[in-house]
Amino acid sequence: MADTEKVAASKSPDSEKDAVFGQRRVSVPEKVSKHGHDADEAMKAFTGDEGEPLLLDEATSKRLLKKIDLHLMPLLCIIYGLNYLDKTTLSYASVMGIRTDIGLTGDDYQWLGSMFYFAKYSSFCIIMWGAVLACMAGVNNYSGALAVRFFLGVFEAAVTPGFALFTSQAQWYTKSEQGTRIGIWFSFNGWAQIFGGLLAYGIAKGARLHGSAIAPWRMVFLATGLLTAAIGMLFLMFMPDNQLNARWLQPLDRKLAIERVRVNQQGIGNKHFKAYQLKEALLDPLTWAFAFYALAADIPNGGITNFFSQLIVSFGYTPEESLLYGTPGGVVEVVTLIVCGYLGDRYGNRLLISSSGLVIAILGMVLIVALPLSNNSGRLAGYYLTQASPTIFVALLSLIATNVAGYTKKTTVAAIYLIAYCVGNIIGMAPSLMWVKMVLTATLRTPDFPSKG
């Protein structure tokens, strides 16, 4: 055995272990060395190979990347898009009659929107989240709607942190590939806004022209909920945990898929809890810097996400028009996220490039606030520009995925980051509601769409 493979360890006076690698002695903290036997799935995959070399050329790596993208990205994108669509159906319903049909008064709508974020970190599964969303079509009062929104948050809890970890910790992609992929599946928030707006508009117009047995907003919840449950079945059937149980990879390709991400130096997922990593995460200043940004940046997001249909009504458009005119905002989000994700990976500076999205969003908010109330189209264009704001949020999420090593530390940092995101959204609901009420009063418009219970 070569000298570099020989390891000798002995107890040191300061409770650390001294390991000898060749001629170099390094000190390994005992809290780390006691996990030395705890191999991850990547190590287990190569057990019995007796050190046989595994050759991976560039052509094979590209072939595997294409196959991985083909099998993983469509489901990740669709599920994440549905995640956003299911959150924003309440915004569509707000101008389609839900307020009058279930008797929402005062701040009820505000709390109905924020209840989703209170339960964001207790997860079950995608299928149940779809089923719960469909149940929203059956509510008849505020308390029932509040309970459904709470459980919707419970069941959707793992989507964003889970997908970020899936893209990184399961180690399907190298660090240089992760930012682009996270940007792509996050951009399906925009695609969901386009699809949801067209769906709600079609249902609302059809109900107005031909009538309907149930209220249009109830049909929106039924359609999106049942679609989510159906896609959830596909997700459970076809999405593998890691390379080793991917049925669409041949045995040799499974090992090569692990080999191609060796450069990440993070393994492919050891899910055993490690207390020292939890401590590191809580004491790391960057953890709280991430959390502060998520909290501050998502205060306006809470209002825009839940009130954008009413916001468009306040610009002088009808409730039905607001459903259709909200869709271009999704296009802005898709373009900015994909472009910033790609350029960030290409030039190795995700934060600087993604900051352009914030500049665009600030410009949009200036247009909304500064233009005269009579300039409907200009203020609507300002709303569209605000949809570029998630670029930095996604860049930081990708940095957590790629730059934080250790499963326990990575999951802890991601959880704190997204808890701050939820708190920011909740805080943002109250001022946004007051602002929308003020503008609606000033323009003498109502956001309710005529409907039946």
pTM, rounded to two decimals: 0.72
Backbone dihedral region for residue 283 (phi beyond 0: left; psi -120 to 50: alpha; all else: beta): alpha
Give the per-residue pLDDT at 14. Answer: 40
Residue bearing tokens 């287990």: 44
Q: Where are the alpha helices (DSSP H) in 39-107?
A: 41-45, 58-94, 98-101
pLDDT tens by residue, 431-451: 555 555 555 455 444 444 444
Q: How far apart are CA 390 and CA 337, in angstroms?
A: 7
Give the per-residue pLDDT at 323. Answer: 83
Q: How far apart are CA 369 and CA 389, in angstroms?
A: 17
Q: How far apart are CA 90 and CA 150, in angstroms?
A: 13
Give the per-residue pLDDT at 175. Answer: 81
Terminal Cα-to-Cα distance of the chain (whole angstroms): 78
Mean pLDDT of 370-399: 90
Contact 313, 445 (CB under 8 A): yes
Q: Where are the alpha helices (DSSP H) in 284-403?
A: 285-314, 319-325, 327-347, 350-370, 376-386, 390-403
The three-state secondary structure class of 28 is: strand
Least Cα distance to 385 among 339, 428, 337, 329 occurs for 329
Give rounded-to-5 percent helix, strand, coil for the chain.
70, 5, 25
Give the per-residue pLDDT at 9. Answer: 37
pLDDT tens by residue, 189-237: 889 889 988 888 888 888 888 888 888 888 888 888 899 888 888 887 7
Contact 322, 445 (CB under 8 A): no
Q: How far apart are CA 152 and CA 87, in angstroms?
A: 9
Q: Where are the alpha helices (DSSP H) in 18-57?
A: 30-33, 41-45
Residue 21 has pLDDT above 80, yes or no: no
Least Cα distance to 383 among 450, 444, 436 occurs for 436
Name the pLDDT band for 419 (thresholds 50, 70, 90).
confident
Q: Which two tokens stand for residue 144?
A: 């029932």
Chain mean pLDDT for the chain = 76
- Count of all residues that appear for the chain in the document: 453
